């Protein structure tokens, strides 16, 4: 048990909190301590009866049955694997930036879920994180099942097909990929590669609650090419531009 405890404590804080909640909430539903329908996202109950907890619980809950258990475990692994690598790699020492990314993706997924009458939001949020990781490391060669190897750029679409085959919803995975693409495009691709204005930035109050930590090794894998600017902002500030260092990415599995 001590080995499990040590492993759990080794998970970075944000991922650890998300991972633990994604185990606890489905377990509560599985044990029948709370009717699982109270966890699902029903637009009419959210808007008409102001059951405002539903977008949160719908993101953390997943029904655990003989038919869905494997899909749940696979996506729980994706959550742990790719969220850990983003939090300790691309967003190392920058918890506020990572929390903002999760919050932006979650808001977009909740809006989509309400419009499209989606009951569960766990897989879309996990896929959005996986998509962002793949974009930061898009030229890295990754290994998947049965020894298949391909560039990480294709990984979200391979996993979309994989989840669909083992019982997932094509809409859930596609929603996650599109939301992850939206975040990456607005935060990095459009302002850095295309020279456009920056539409997204981490709010300053998040830096007050989750200040940047110094001394970490960070990297975003292979960055978008950045157009030269007349004057580069100073590095290491609280918010705004000049915040990210680009570096080495991660190889899928077995780090």
Give the DSSP letter string of 53-97.
THHHHHHH-----TTTHHHHHHHHHHHHHHHHHIIIIITTT-HHH
Q: For 17-72, how does the pLDDT look when each residue is reduced to its tens digit (9 = 90+)?
A: 999 999 999 999 999 999 999 999 999 999 999 999 999 999 999 999 998 999 99
C-beta of residue 150 within 8 angstroms of C-beta of residue 141 = yes
- Residue at 144 is within a domain: yes
- Residue at 197 is within a domain: yes
Residue span of the structural domain in which 63 resides: 3-209
Give the CATH number of the domain where residue 194 resides: 1.20.1540.10
- Residue at 240 is within a domain: no
Among candidates 215, 116, 216, 214, which has minimal Cα distance to 170?
A: 116
d(CA 206, CA 160): 32
Q: Please, which pLDDT band fits residue 1 given cuts at 50, 70 and 90?
A: low
Q: For 93-151, how does the pLDDT look when each residue is reduced to its tens digit (9 = 90+)?
A: 999 999 999 999 999 999 999 999 999 999 999 999 999 999 999 889 888 877 788 89
* Non-local CB neighbours of 219 within 8 Å, separated by 6+ positions: 89, 90, 92, 245, 246, 247, 248, 249
User: How many independent structural domains does the chain possess?
Assistant: 1
Q: For 157-216, how does the pLDDT look when each residue is reduced to its tens digit (9 = 90+)?
A: 999 988 888 877 789 999 999 999 999 999 988 887 777 778 899 999 999 999 998 644
Q: Please, which pLDDT band fits residue 232 given cuts at 50, 70 and 90?
A: very low
Q: What is the mean pLDDT of the chain?
A: 84
- Residue at 26 is within a domain: yes
Q: Please, which pLDDT band fits residue 240 given cuts at 50, 70 and 90?
A: very low
- Residue at 95 is within a domain: yes
d(CA 219, CA 147): 27
- Residue at 154 is within a domain: yes
d(CA 144, CA 130): 14
- Residue at 216 is within a domain: no
In sequence order, which ranges of 86-228 are alpha helices (DSSP H)? 95-116, 122-136, 155-165, 170-184, 204-209
The CA-based angle 36-14-61, given to 5 degrees, is 10
């Amino acid at each position: 048990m001590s080995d499990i405890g040590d492993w759990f404590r080794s998970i970075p804080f944000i991922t650890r909190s998300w991972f633990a909640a994604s185990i606890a909430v489905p377990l509560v539903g599985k044990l029948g301590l709370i009717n699982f329908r109270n966890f699902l996202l029903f637009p009419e109950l959210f808007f008409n009866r102001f059951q405002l907890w539903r977008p949160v619980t719908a993101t953390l809950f997943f029904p655990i049955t003989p038919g869905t258990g494997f899909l749940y475990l696979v996506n729980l692994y994706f959550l742990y694997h790719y969220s850990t690598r983003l939090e300790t790699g691309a967003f190392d020492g920058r918890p506020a930036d990572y929390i903002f990314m999760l919050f932006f993706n979650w808001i977009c997924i909740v809006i989509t879920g309400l419009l499209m009458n989606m009951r569960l939001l766990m897989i879309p949020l996990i896929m959005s994180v996986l998509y962002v990781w793949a974009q930061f490391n898009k030229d890295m060669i990754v290994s998947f099942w049965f020894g298949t190897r391909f560039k990480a750029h294709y990984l979200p679409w391979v996993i979309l097909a994989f989840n669909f085959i083992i019982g997932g919803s094509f809409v859930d995975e596609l929603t996650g990929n599109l939301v992850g693409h939206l975040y990456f495009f607005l935060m990095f691709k459009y302002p850095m590669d295309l020279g456009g204005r920056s539409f997204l930035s981490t709010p300053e109050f998040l830096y007050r609650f989750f200040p940047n930590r110094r001394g970490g090794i960070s990297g975003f894998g292979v960055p978008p090419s950045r157009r030269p600017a007349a004057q580069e902002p100073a590095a290491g500030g609280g918010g705004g531009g000049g915040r990210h260092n680009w570096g080495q990415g991660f190889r899928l599995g077995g780090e």
